[in-house]
Amino acid sequence: MIGNQPHNHSVQVNEFSFEKNQTVNRILIFIKNALPEFESLFNAADSIFRLEDDISKELLRFFNDKSRSKNLLFQFNEKKGVDFTVFLAHPFIIGVPPIFMVEAKRLSNKHRDYVSGRTGGIERIKREQEEFGTHLSTGAMIAYIQDHDVEYWEDRINTWIDNLIAKDTDIEWDLEDKLVANNELSNYTSVHKRISKDKITLFHYWIALN
């Protein structure tokens, strides 16, 4: 399993611009630094995993192994409706709410539900499906790119959002929903109004999986 593989060196993001106790920013930095290593290990292993859930289970193991190896005080758990939630590992309190969420989607010629639809990644967050994430103001989306490249999908996704803005839909789409390049913490960021009208900021991380 990838989560148990020895770790290679990857380019690290410095923490100089953040206060030490900003937990969410530390999670974002962790994801930014860990994903290139997972991408490299996954592709080098010539993995048989192609389904979204199978890839996410491997990524979940990898994240938790990496977090433990660095003695970080947060852990990633599976959650129905989204791929991972993040909890503080210590101290352990029964029933404590998650402090972060991560939604993962494939991007390929056959899988284009990153934005909208019954299983649409951004749409389910805007709709607060199962009330999950209502108390959160920040989250992440991870794309497993299986066809084309980053530039192609940036254009496609923002075009899809432009089309939704032009339509009469039961949830509000506007220019803030579009992806904006973010070179410091993630590939892109976006801001979304939810049915509660409280906004959530998403950090988007994209990796190319063969």
- What is the per-residue pLDDT for 92? 54
Please give the backbone phi and psi of residue 208, each rounded to the nearest 5 degrees, phi first. Answer: -95, 115
Length of the chain: 210
Out of 19-23, 102-106, 115-119, 204-208, least confident range = 19-23
| Separation CA 102–CA 35 (nearest Å) | 13
Q: How far is CA 9 from the centre of its chain?
A: 22
Beta bridge partners of 116: none
87-91, 96-100, 106-110, 168-172 — which is least confidently predicted?
Answer: 87-91
How far apart (Å, rounded) are the C-alpha atoms in residues 112 and 107? 6
More confident residue, 6 or 167: 167
Report the C-alpha gap between 3 and 134 in whole angstroms: 30
Distance of CA 181 to the CA centre of its chain: 15
Average pLDDT value over all residues in the chain? 84
pLDDT at 82: 60
Contact 140, 100 (CB under 8 A): yes
CA atoms within 13 A on the CB side of 170: 4
What is the reported pLDDT for 65?
Answer: 93
Give the range among 15-29, 111-125, 132-146, 187-201 with minimum mean pLDDT. Answer: 15-29
Rounded to two decimals, what is the model's pTM?
0.85
Domain count, the chain: 1
Write out the residue range of the structural domain in which residue 28 sits. Answer: 2-208
